[in-house]
A and B are shown apart, each in its own frame.
Chain A
């Protein structure tokens, strides 16, 4: 079972010059066996998922499951209210007027899908996390501008202050910092 909030108290941060360098560095990190590292960039870099060895996001399946529930729920709601709980004769139409119920089924399916997608993304990403050791770095702010970083969390099995810093340097990292948040 996952903990409610992941504890991150120590992170090594290294800066890279370009998307290209970052991609290469990520590949090297993966080859070295690092798992708890991340590549920070102002935009999503194509190929980075493969480079870091990340699996496809499961979000699609989750959304599908919830959307199906939304669909059935909408259908059930309309069936129960119109044909079971208080059937009223409206324009001489059948109590369960299938075609007329499609728009609401459709809308509610979309609605559940959309909410699931967003809430799912936030939950999977463990957001919001307003305090992160990374944010104590002065340089890190540039990740959303035009700079590229790799961070390694101390929870990684291979993590070691000196080793990891050294390795990052070898793969082209600059301005290496160790960020703590005790």
Chain B
């Protein structure tokens, strides 16, 4: 909470005034015309108007003046209503979000020019309508009042024009000497326009250096494919076609690239409608406990440094089965023994062409090369994995960064431009980037925050959020998409393309023109205008994917590479192993300013607002530490303190730490949250390193965890069976509770008429990615409460992902269960409310009426699922006018003292019903998707009319895996679960 109490930096007025910087642009003039629409009048008064008090005052005075009776509210109409804008009716625009060296195609919901909700673009192959937590949280990042608002030189505020003039003179100077002394350190991008402009830059400054670096990248994968095929490729996986999957330290379901499609394919291959269906099998070998590990049928925890040895063992086992893995003949097989390697090899061999081996991005290139060879040997290339050559992108290059820093230290760099990157925070510590930067005469920082780097540079230029920029992208499979602004820049920032245009061409051009130029170049022939219109409408260009290839492993190349880079080199070193993992919420730290993501519970540990040193129970015992004890991590003479979190199933002798925390330039939300593990990273070991020394300190650090209890206590909460058991007992889910059907003593209300809403949650599909949680938060105006409140059990999520461990503490299995309001027909919450603030409606919804609620919290007590959330404080009190703009005008903002909970997105139900009513038809299946359902990449949530036998939800409720949580209470929930099925290899005995 204390974070939220920080003084508001800007007021509504300032926010408008700051647009002055744009005053000379035509955009600003249009913006002036586009004065703030009807929605603004809603901010004048909170939703709780104390009419009664006003009225009391009036009646006591006995004044007959009508105007005294109530507070005046203003209506501020448009001067000219933009053609497409209807006050109160949202508009949807397609755009795309650049991320790493790929992108996501999105559709943005906009209320009177105010983007409030993000969905995946159904037409775009990168999302197909789904999204992720990070994508969903982008509206909050857009409306972050801490974003950079000014061009700054030294400590002084400058105007954009100052910078332009300054650069133009530098441009001329460097153009003369061909760019000698000029260097650019860029973040990754994949944009035709940026690439085009970069080419111009290279042409203008042939001697300048351009280096791309990000803390998290697929660099090792590209190097690995290069080692295997002789050419750098990006792998494109088809998990839906893979029957047997082996993941080597790869969290492909959440934190690796293209996770949305990976999860979708994986879940599709796992889906069982009846006991007769087949499903895939996932073997996981990893050090930490990842979301993918939680979905594995067999999981083995070994250090990340042992993965290479494991892969060699596997190759050897495959060789023994007669499947010759190219390039391994010269390798020594380590004598280290691993569990079930032979059975795994047999299983993979049995699924030739329908199996898939993937390795995580932190594994060295050699592992990736070997994995390519294994996939080749198994005949998977061209079937479950294809390769593409990426273009229009700029990918991370650690070696380049090293030489750039050397140049900087050597004094040969006179101007360094940091384009969308924050190296002071995330460059490997051994490079000491800050010191090197100090040796450069002019440093220019261009980013969306005046972050750690921006605070030290000569110039800082604010970068626009993608929702306010013109740009373009290429997604993981190469689909070209446009990025269109949903709103003009809030804080007088400029877009990436505009900045790049200025840098490369020495003159300012509008983003729109730059992007359009690129697309015009790439769309020669035919009527460009009509194509362009369609591209803007769809947000993408059809059939623009990279060419998918099926190269073969080149024996000579890979053998040489593996000989030079032996896979066993990390074995046997002393000390512990440290593994650097990108945060599933904050990624590499760029989202540390986003309160939703900070407060989002970690998919496995359920921690919020902190990063920790995850270690195994055994290691914690050896060190004599428990959860929340602070330990000192020392590596190569650098050290960092982090609190310990004991992670069941973590590999022994290894510590997992997450990137993205410990920011110092993340302002009121992100500053001081967690520790910066980049301080322990060196450029030679960015994925993992050995030789870590861990020592106990005597301090503790309070951690806010949303789920303290690990075990289901033997209760039939998440019901799970193996495929074999499922085939023997198809109704195992129902039979998990030995109960006769319960009978009520009174005649229950019957719900046979009209629409009857219900939902199913398929536990077999759910991978636990958290996308639904942020989607719900964004759709339903759920406030951020802060770390102290979370620690006190007051987090506000309407849908939560419960995580339980089963089995052995050292090697547990993990299950995830999304829990939201179950909309019980016999809802126990309703009967106890003294004021009838929560009742049932005719369509079976358990409705919660905020304006009737007096806040006794009795309903929450009596809810067996504990899905009700209470506004203990006025959590939205400190929202600035800018932050308020994230809020969905179709959902009431709750005041302090009221209960709230999942409504099945009743605003969407109402909208669909009204729409259908006006058009004189009925609501049909698919008209309504709840926010969580829409975001879910694996289709785990299905919502619809259970009174319609043909609806998807009705059909799913007829599956024999269907069960109601706590059905023994006879509360008759409308939300039911489809039990989880795992598919372990029967030849592998459980430990």
The interface of chain A, by Cβ under 8 A from chain B, is 88-94, 97, 100
User: Which chain A positions have C-beta within 8 A of B836?
Assistant: 88, 90
Q: Please choose the segment from B117-125, B269-277, B577-585, B741-749 that sits at the chain A interface, where 4 or more of its residues have CB less than 8 A away.
A: B741-749
Residues 811 to 849 of chain B near chain A (Cβ within 8 Å): 825-828, 830-831, 833, 836, 839-842
Check A91–B746 contact: CB distance below 8 A: no
User: Which chain A positions have C-beta within 8 A of B178?
Assistant: none
Check A90–B830 contact: CB distance below 8 A: yes
Interchain CB contact (< 8 A) of A91 among B747, B827, B841, B842: B827
Check B747–A89 contact: CB distance below 8 A: no
A147 to chain B, nearest CB (A): 53
Q: Does B913 contact A (CB under 8 A)?
A: no
Q: A90-B840, A92-B748 provided; 18 other pairs, C-beta below 8 A?
A: A88-B836, A88-B839, A88-B840, A89-B749, A89-B839, A89-B841, A89-B842, A90-B839, A91-B826, A91-B827, A91-B828, A91-B830, A91-B840, A92-B749, A92-B825, A92-B826, A92-B827, A92-B972
B94 to chain A, nearest CB (A): 42
Chief secondary structure at chain B's binding surface: loop
Check B831–A93 contact: CB distance below 8 A: yes
A13 to chain B, nearest CB (A): 52
**Cα(A88)–Cα(B747), bound, Å:** 15
**Cα(A89)–Cα(B842), bound, Å:** 8
User: Which chain B positions have C-beta within 8 A of A94?
Assistant: 746-747
Closest Cβ neighbor of A89 among chain B residues: B840
User: Which chain A positions have C-beta within 8 A of B744?
Assistant: 92
B972 to chain A, nearest CB (A): 7
Check A93–B746 contact: CB distance below 8 A: yes
**Cα(A81)–Cα(B55), bound, Å:** 27
User: Which chain A positions have C-beta within 8 A of B825?
Assistant: 92
26 A-B interface contacts by CB (under 8 A): A88-B836, A88-B839, A88-B840, A89-B749, A89-B839, A89-B841, A89-B842, A90-B836, A90-B839, A90-B840, A91-B826, A91-B827, A91-B830, A91-B831, A91-B840, A92-B744, A92-B748, A92-B749, A92-B825, A92-B827, A93-B746, A93-B749, A93-B826, A93-B831, A94-B746, A94-B747
User: Which chain A positions have C-beta within 8 A of B831?
Assistant: 90-91, 93, 100
**Cα(A126)–Cα(B839), bound, Å:** 50
Interface pairs A-B: 5 shortest CB-CB:
A89-B840, A91-B831, A92-B826, A92-B749, A91-B830
- From B828, B839, B842, name the one whose CB has the most chain A CB atoms within 10 angstroms: B839
Count of chain B residues with Cβ under 8 Å from any Cβ of A? 18
A35 to chain B, nearest CB (A): 54
User: Which chain B positions have C-beta within 8 A of A91?
Assistant: 826-828, 830-831, 840
User: Which chain B positions have C-beta within 8 A of A92?
Assistant: 744, 748-749, 825-827, 840, 972
User: Which chain B positions have C-beta within 8 A of A100?
Assistant: 831
A80 to chain B, nearest CB (A): 15
- From A88, A92, A93, A100, name the one whose CB has the most chain B CB atoms within 10 angstroms: A92
Closest Cβ neighbor of B825 among chain A residues: A92
**Cα(A91)–Cα(B823), bound, Å:** 10
**Cα(A122)–Cα(B354), bound, Å:** 95
**Cα(A59)–Cα(B508), bound, Å:** 98
**Cα(A88)–Cα(B744), bound, Å:** 19
Closest Cβ neighbor of B839 among chain A residues: A88
**Cα(A22)–Cα(B831), bound, Å:** 61
Residues 785 to 835 of chain B near chain A (Cβ within 8 Å): 825-828, 830-831, 833
Closest Cβ neighbor of A82 among chain B residues: B836
A65 to chain B, nearest CB (A): 31
**Cα(A100)–Cα(B834), bound, Å:** 12
A86 to chain B, nearest CB (A): 9
- From A89, A93, A94, A97, name the one whose CB has the most chain B CB atoms within 10 angstroms: A89
**Cα(A93)–Cα(B842), bound, Å:** 14
Closest Cβ neighbor of A95 among chain B residues: B749
Closest Cβ neighbor of B840 among chain A residues: A89
- From A91, A97, A100, name the one whose CB has the most chain B CB atoms within 10 angstroms: A91
**Cα(A90)–Cα(B838), bound, Å:** 8
**Cα(A56)–Cα(B830), bound, Å:** 50
A93 to chain B, nearest CB (A): 6
User: Which chain A positions have C-beta within 8 A of B833?
Assistant: 90
Cβ proximity bits B736-759 to A, threshold 8 Å, 1 near / 0 not: 000000001011110000000000
Closest Cβ neighbor of B841 among chain A residues: A89
User: Which chain B positions have C-beta within 8 A of A90?
Assistant: 830-831, 833, 836, 839-840
Closest Cβ neighbor of B745 among chain A residues: A99
User: Which chain A positions have C-beta within 8 A of B828?
Assistant: 91
Residues 827 to 882 of chain B near chain A (Cβ within 8 Å): 827-828, 830-831, 833, 836, 839-842
Residues 716 to 770 of chain B near chain A (Cβ within 8 Å): 744, 746-749
A175 to chain B, nearest CB (A): 58
A76 to chain B, nearest CB (A): 19
Closest Cβ neighbor of A98 among chain B residues: B746
**Cα(A90)–Cα(B841), bound, Å:** 9
**Cα(A94)–Cα(B691), bound, Å:** 70
B428 to chain A, nearest CB (A): 60
User: Which chain B positions have C-beta within 8 A of A89?
Assistant: 749, 839-842
**Cα(A92)–Cα(B162), bound, Å:** 69
A143 to chain B, nearest CB (A): 48
User: Which chain B positions have C-beta within 8 A of A93?
Assistant: 746, 749, 826, 831
- From A88, A90, A94, A97, name the one whose CB has the most chain B CB atoms within 10 angstroms: A90
**Cα(A164)–Cα(B747), bound, Å:** 75
User: Which chain B positions have C-beta within 8 A of A88?
Assistant: 836, 839-840
A91 to chain B, nearest CB (A): 4
Closest Cβ neighbor of B844 among chain A residues: A89
User: Which chain A positions have C-beta within 8 A of B749?
Assistant: 89, 92-93
**Cα(A94)–Cα(B748), bound, Å:** 7
A98 to chain B, nearest CB (A): 9
A63 to chain B, nearest CB (A): 29
Closest Cβ neighbor of A90 among chain B residues: B830
B832 to chain A, nearest CB (A): 9
User: Which chain A positions have C-beta within 8 A of B827?
Assistant: 91-92
**Cα(A94)–Cα(B746), bound, Å:** 7
B465 to chain A, nearest CB (A): 45
- From B744, B840, B841, name the one whose CB has the most chain A CB atoms within 10 angstroms: B840
User: Which chain A positions have C-beta within 8 A of B842?
Assistant: 89
**Cα(A92)–Cα(B842), bound, Å:** 11
**Cα(A94)–Cα(B826), bound, Å:** 11
A95 to chain B, nearest CB (A): 9
**Cα(A94)–Cα(B744), bound, Å:** 11
**Cα(A92)–Cα(B973), bound, Å:** 12
User: Which chain A positions have C-beta within 8 A of B747?
Assistant: 94
A31 to chain B, nearest CB (A): 62
**Cα(A97)–Cα(B828), bound, Å:** 15
A83 to chain B, nearest CB (A): 13
**Cα(A178)–Cα(B838), bound, Å:** 71
**Cα(A93)–Cα(B749), bound, Å:** 7
User: Which chain A positions have C-beta within 8 A of B841?
Assistant: 89
Closest Cβ neighbor of A81 among chain B residues: B836
Closest Cβ neighbor of B828 among chain A residues: A91
**Cα(A97)–Cα(B827), bound, Å:** 15
**Cα(A89)–Cα(B824), bound, Å:** 12
A88 to chain B, nearest CB (A): 4
B500 to chain A, nearest CB (A): 60
**Cα(A90)–Cα(B746), bound, Å:** 13
**Cα(A94)–Cα(B747), bound, Å:** 7
**Cα(A90)–Cα(B830), bound, Å:** 6
User: Which chain A positions have C-beta within 8 A of B972?
Assistant: 92
B812 to chain A, nearest CB (A): 38
B631 to chain A, nearest CB (A): 50
User: Which chain A positions have C-beta within 8 A of B840?
Assistant: 88-92
A169 to chain B, nearest CB (A): 64
Closest Cβ neighbor of A86 among chain B residues: B836
A79 to chain B, nearest CB (A): 16
User: Which chain B positions have C-beta within 8 A of A97?
Assistant: 746
A74 to chain B, nearest CB (A): 16
**Cα(A94)–Cα(B836), bound, Å:** 15
A84 to chain B, nearest CB (A): 15
